[in-house]
Amino acid sequence: MAGALISMLGMPHGAFDVVVARKLFGFTSIKGWALFGLTYLSLSVTVAGFWYLAPTPFLCTFLAFSALHFGGDPAKGASILLRCLYGGAVIVLPALLHGPELQQLLGLVAGPASAAVVAPVLSKVAGPWLFAIAVAFFLQVGASRTTTWELTALTAVSLLAPPLIGFTIYFCAMHSPRHILRTLANLPDADRRNSVALVLWSNLFVLAALAVIGWLTIDVAIASGLMQLIFVSLAALTLPHMMLLEGARRWGVPARN
């Protein structure tokens, strides 16, 4: 169920990269879009190869890049410190109360051996991370009141919910909808309608794919493999997705506020 929800919002979330790329590069020709697609795919395949050849360095890099990416969620004006605490909360804090479950989840992504290396490190960092968040909350460090309370809610979910449930809540209820709404808000009306259609078609595609996969994957072993596929796919797509959004930020394309 969690994997289905992540896929449902992850696909439209990533589908908006097409919208951002058009605003950033002004693609109008088939050749331009083919070059963009080839570059995007090549970066994703490179990440997948990294996962296959060096799972432990891959897992460390993936978690660091994910924290950096999630740190872009708070509204404009948030300090670098707060963005760092926010981005790492959903990754680090589950280790405080749900260490074994987090290690099992990381094992699905990169294998049990890699998870056994990374999970204890997260457990050692989780306490100081929570303390830093508490200090930032009481001092209102570099954030609006709304952002501070949002960090508090994310902290509570990351601490109390099992890791997979906590991540699903964050990704599906906070991160992905925010990205979609911010992108839509910066589009002309015509582009906005086309983008909504893109999201709907993406959802239909995901629903059809999940229905087929659900029919084929009855036993637990295959279901675990499916969960690994979902998370590795997210990892593979995170690099080009982040590079595109960072380019939009640097060159003044309002992909996020």
Token pair of 170, please?
Answer: 């964050």
Residue 142: which pLDDT band, with cuts at 50, 70 and 90? low
85-106 pLDDT, tens digit per residue, is: 999 999 999 999 999 999 998 9
Choose the weakest-confidence range: 5-14, 58-67, 116-125, 133-142.
Answer: 5-14
Residue 255: which pLDDT band, with cuts at 50, 70 and 90? very low
**Do residues 120 and 107 touch, judged by C-beta distance below 8 A?**
no
Round to whole Å and give the CA distance between 196 and 180.
9
Residue 257: which pLDDT band, with cuts at 50, 70 and 90? very low
Residue 28: which pLDDT band, with cuts at 50, 70 and 90? confident
Residue 212 has pLDDT above 60, yes or no: no
Buried b (16+ CB within 10 A) or exposed e, 209-236: eeeebeeeeeeeeeeeebbbebbbbbbb
Round to whole Å and give the CA distance between 165 and 146.
24
In the chain, where the domains are located: 2-250
Residue 256 has pLDDT above 50, yes or no: no
Residue 15 has pLDDT above 90, yes or no: no
Task: State residue 27's pLDDT score.
Answer: 75
Round to whole Å and give the CA distance between 160 and 8.
24
Choose the weakest-confidence range: 18-27, 106-115, 191-200.
Answer: 191-200
Higher pLDDT, 241 or 95: 95
Residue 206: which pLDDT band, with cuts at 50, 70 and 90? low
Average pLDDT over residues 77-85: 89
Task: State residue 145's pLDDT score.
Answer: 77
Mean residue pLDDT of the chain comes to 79
Percent of the chain with pLDDT over 90: 31
